[in-house]
Amino acid sequence: MIENLSAITLFTHDMARAVDFYRKLGFQISYGGEQADFTSFHAGPSFLNLMRVSLDQPLGWWGRAIFYVTDVDATHAQALAAGLQPSFAPQDAPWGERYFHIFDPDGHEISFARPLQQRPPEDAAPA
């Protein structure tokens, strides 16, 4: 049985640029840093890792990492204030989350989300 997600590891060609990007979004370093070959950030009980790879290794698109945050709109505002460019403004999704996406400097798509408050069933009596 799978218990939880330990970490997601993303490759980068420029560790300093990648670390700067994630710090601007509020991630806190657990290990490594701008000059390291491997850096780990706290992501709740899990980790987001960055690994420096040689310039001849293509990074390629692989998918999307999704992080739950306390306030999607505040995270979006933080990104804008830091000069970053999210793909779009926060929006409510039909699957029940408020979210936005942003690409890191190496082209990895990152999403910040929060579940929307659940509404009572249509036939429920008002409280």
Task: Map out the domains of the chain with their CATH numbers.
Answer: 7-54+62-115 (3.10.180.10)
Q: What is the full per-residue pLDDT of the chain (127 aa) written as tens digits? A: 756 778 999 999 999 999 999 999 999 999 999 999 999 999 999 999 999 999 998 887 777 899 999 999 999 999 999 999 999 999 999 889 999 999 999 999 999 999 998 654 554 444 4
The CA-CA-CA angle for residues 79, 82, 83, to 5°, reads 90
CA-closest candidate to residue 45, choices 1, 75, 4: 4
CA-closest candidate to residue 11, choices 50, 37, 43: 50
